[in-house]
Structures are given as C-alpha cells and as structure tokens.
Chains A and B, each alone.
Chain A
Amino acid sequence: MRNNRGTILIDYLLTLLTVVMMIPVIILSISTISHALKQPDYLQDIVATYQLRRILVLSYSPRIEDDALYFTYKKKEMKLSLINENIILQPGTQIFYIHVDTCMFYEENHVIYLQYERGEDAYTEAIAKY
C-alpha cells in the first residue's frame, strides 16, 4: 500500500492558489461597493450641475431671495429652490439634486454658488457667472 501521510493533493494546492488569486479582487470589489454606498448620488450630482450650468448660462437677471434663486430663462421667470429634499426648477418639476437636507445660494465675485448638505456631507458648486 502507498503511504499518503504527509503529502498534499494537487487539487488542494490548485484550490488554494485560486482562492489566493481572488482575494485582491474581492477586497477591491468590496471597497468599491462600500465607497459607492457612501456616495450613491455622486454621479447624479455631476450631471445635475452640468445641466444647471447649461440653463443658467442662458439666463438673465438672477437674484437670490429666501434661499431660492430666481432668474429669467427663455423670457420666463424661473425659481430654483429646495422642495421636499429635492432642488427643483419651477415652473414645472425639473429635479436636479436629490436627497438634499438644506440648500442656500450666495454670490461672490459675480459667481453664484450653490451650497447644499446631504447627511453629514456639505457640497459647494459654482453654478453661474454673471
């Protein structure tokens, strides 16, 4: 009879090798998931800022009143403000930023900034230049 004591099957070695090769990939994936879970609205915010800037470049007579931004766009008076945790452009219900707790607008050196908070994070975006 063959004595198998003290030997390792090649199958176990291959399994071990496969598992070890997958560990970095798994760790990377988990870290990506956790990062994405922390900032689920990140991409939406980038797109929203772009769309908002594109509208505001064609707008006239901006003014900030009561945490809302008023401006004239295509000869219509528009209002950008926070309603039900969404930053919305009215008239209509064009939603730009979602899951927002607080928001405020301010002007500095002819640039209008939007500052908003989501959870514990605060964001500031330059949205228009006049």
Chain B
Amino acid sequence: MRIQKQLRNTDGFVSTYFLSILLYIVSVITVIALRDKANMQCMMNMKEANMYLQQEIRVISDIKQKLLEGNLEDNEMYEVDEHFIYVTITQDYPETLVLTLDEDDITILSYTSARGMYVDK
C-alpha cells in the first residue's frame, strides 16, 4: 500500500510531455542556430574573398593590358620572370599573386594568390 502510494506520488517531477517537447524544441533550435552560424561564417568568408578578388581583378586587368601592348616592365609591384609574373600588393589587403603566362608571354593562363601575406623574393 505504501509502495503504491509512493509510485503515484509525482511531486517534484517534471511532466514527461513537457520535458519531451522542451527537449525537442531545444534540439531543433540548436540545429538551426548551428546551421545559421555556418552560413554566416560562409558569408563572412565570401565577403573577404570578394574584397581580395576586386583587388586582383584591377591588377590582372592592368597586367593583361600591358602584356597586349608589350610594355610590362619590372617595378616595385611587378616582377617578370620567364613565364611567371610575381605581383606584390601591400595595400589594404596584402597578398602575393603568381601569374602563369603562355609560351608567348602574352596570355595569362592562371594565377595563384597567397592572401593575407606578401612574400619577400
């Protein structure tokens, strides 16, 4: 009789329904928050990448023009070496670009960038 009374005594216990709903909602919100955090991080990275890209577009367009006109010469920013051009940018977004040229040294085939740093050559 006393055991049955103790089993029926629910004082101090959280309702199972309430607890299950609470846990479910907390889980869903956690997943959404984590996903939003990842998305936000992605957008922040893309914003920074776009800043660098804008800078690279300006520099590469200038080099393309000079290559076509045949008057690209070494200066404090550009260093021409065989089929490569090393570009050192020390402005707002410092980086080093390595442009690969074709065999005629007229067309840029590809480029790589070391962002956030410039390499002393």
Q: A57–B56 contact, CB under 8 A?
A: yes
Does A90 sit within 8 A of B, measured CB to CB?
no
Does B46 sit within 8 A of A, measured CB to CB?
yes
Q: A43–B42 contact, CB under 8 A?
A: yes
Q: Which of B65-105 contact A (CB under 8 A)?
A: 102
Q: How large is the interface on B (under 10, 10 to 19, 20 to 34, 35 or more residues)?
A: 20 to 34
Binds B, one of A24-32, A80-88, A95-103: A24-32
Q: Assess A54 versus B53: contact at CB under 8 Å? Given A15-B18, A33-B32.
A: yes
Q: Which residues of B does A touch, CB under 8 Å?
A: 18, 22, 25, 28-29, 32-33, 36, 39, 42-43, 46, 49-50, 53, 56-57, 60-61, 64, 102, 107-111
List 11 interface pairs A-B (beta carbons < 8 Å), by A numbering: A15-B18, A29-B28, A32-B36, A50-B46, A50-B49, A50-B50, A57-B60, A58-B108, A74-B109, A74-B110, A75-B109
